[in-house]
């Protein structure tokens, strides 16, 4: 399972690479984040505010599909931020003319990307704050779903847990799980894209190309998911299961997972090829934290 495999690479190992332990924002640094990149990050965060309000408004109005799209903004922001952040970190090492020298050490080019990607995901303050925000938001949504279903069942219908209540709870839980799964996998995809793009693009283009590549990949996954769900809806209607919402959401969860797994697998294979990564080298690096 690529999601678990790559998550462990970034979050379940501690690189000894000096780039990982280097300060993220050293005072003497002569390379600053481009103004357009800071403005783009700020704009993406600002866009989430009206998105959240619109999401709750349409939830009250019965616009569940629009709410689903709005909540997915967090995954897009997380992945875009990771792609830009990791690519920018590699770009800074290239600008300081240290990349080629460090790439000659045993961890190689992959070791540089791994150290900088892990450092950005686990030590960048803005990334950590945003991750906690989205996790808390998903937890609140989960609690709200459970509370609304149970209260409506006991107060309005005056009866205990039945099959319909369990089905409603299952739909809500699967819905939130699919959101969180997309958020986690999008962050991993963004980090891998940030590692991969600098091996293709020129230094001046890296910070622009990385988020564009990530967004293109995400649009591709959403397109596949949309086409797949359209077919599933048609199939359920033909089978007379048009009211099986829990089954539909469960299939949607599987589609989200599979499409992102395919994207992660493809990007990982590209990284192995472009950064000359051998399986034995990766196992040694993870074992000894090189």
pLDDT at 261 over 60: yes
The pLDDT, as a whole number, for residue 156 is: 62
pLDDT at 164 over 90: no
pLDDT at 115 over 70: yes
The pLDDT, as a whole number, for residue 29 is: 43
**Annotated domain spans of the chain:** 2-22+34-288
- The per-residue pLDDT for range 26-83, each reduced to its tens digit, is 444 444 556 666 666 666 666 665 665 555 555 554 445 555 555 668 888 899 999 9
The pTM of this model reads 0.78
The pLDDT, as a whole number, for residue 64 is: 53
pLDDT at 288 over 50: no
- The per-residue pLDDT for range 119-162, each reduced to its tens digit, is 888 888 888 888 888 888 888 888 887 887 777 777 666 555 55
The pLDDT, as a whole number, for residue 203 is: 65
The pLDDT, as a whole number, for residue 173 is: 83
CA distance 63 to 46: 22
- The per-residue pLDDT for range 8-23, each reduced to its tens digit, is 888 876 666 656 656 5
Reported as half-sphere exposure (CB side, CA atoms, 13 A), residue 145 has a value of 20
The pLDDT, as a whole number, for residue 74 is: 83
Assign 3-class secondary structure to the chain.
Answer: CHHHHHHHHHHCCCCCCHHHHCCCCCCCCCCCCCHHHHHHHHHHHHHHHHHHHHHHHHHHCCCHHHHHHHHCHHHHHHHHHHHHHHHHHHHHHHHCCCHHHHHCCCCHHHHHHHHHHHHHHHHCHHHHHHHHHHHHHHHHHHHHHHHHHHHHHHHHCCCCCCHHHHHHHHHHHHHHHHHHHHHHHHHHHHHHHHHHHHHCCCHHHHHHHHHHHHHHHHHHHHHHHHHHHHHHHHHHHHCCCCCCHHHHHHHHHHHHHHHHHHHHHHHHHHHHHHCCCCHHHHHHHHHHCC
The pLDDT, as a whole number, for residue 263 is: 94
- The per-residue pLDDT for range 220-234, each reduced to its tens digit, is 998 998 898 888 888
CA distance 236 to 36: 47
Question: In the numeric block, which tokens belong to residue 284?
Answer: 């040694």
The pLDDT, as a whole number, for residue 18 is: 59
Average pLDDT, rounded, for the chain: 77
pLDDT at 216 over 90: yes
Nearest to 95 by CA among 41, 29, 36, 40: 29
The pLDDT, as a whole number, for residue 80 is: 92
């Amino acid at each position: 399972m690529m999601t678990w495999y790559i998550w462990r690479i970034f979050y379940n190992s501690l690189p000894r690479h000096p780039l990982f332990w280097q300060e993220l924002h050293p005072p003497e640094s002569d390379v600053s984040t481009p103004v357009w990149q800071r403005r783009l990050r700020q704009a993406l965060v600002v866009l989430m505010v009206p998105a959240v309000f619109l999401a709750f408004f349409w939830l009250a109005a019965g616009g569940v599909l629009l709410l689903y799209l709005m909540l997915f903004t967090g995954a897009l922001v997380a992945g875009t931020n990771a792609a830009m952040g990791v690519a920018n970190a590699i770009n800074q090492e290239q600008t300081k003319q240290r990349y080629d020298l460090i790439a000659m050490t045993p961890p190689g080019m992959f070791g540089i990307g791994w150290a900088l990607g892990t450092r950005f995901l686990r030590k960048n303050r803005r990334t950590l704050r945003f991750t906690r925000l989205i996790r808390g938001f998903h937890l609140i949504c989960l609690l709200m779903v459970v509370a609304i279903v149970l209260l409506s069942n006991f107060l309005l219908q005056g009866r205990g847990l039945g099959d319909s209540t369990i089905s409603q709870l299952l739909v809500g839980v699967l819905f939130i799980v699919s959101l969180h799964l997309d958020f986690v996998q999008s962050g991993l995809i963004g980090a891998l894209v940030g590692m991969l793009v600098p091996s293709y693009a020129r230094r001046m283009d890296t910070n622009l190309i990385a988020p564009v590549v990530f967004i293109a990949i995400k649009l591709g996954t959403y397109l596949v998911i949309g086409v797949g769900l359209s077919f599933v809806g048609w199939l359920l209607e033909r089978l007379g299961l048009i009211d099986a919402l829990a089954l539909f959401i469960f299939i949607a969860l599987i589609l989200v997972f599979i499409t992102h797994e395919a994207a992660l697998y493809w990007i990982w294979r590209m990284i192995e090829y472009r950064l000359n990564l051998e399986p034995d080298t990766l196992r040694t690096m993870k074992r000894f934290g090189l």
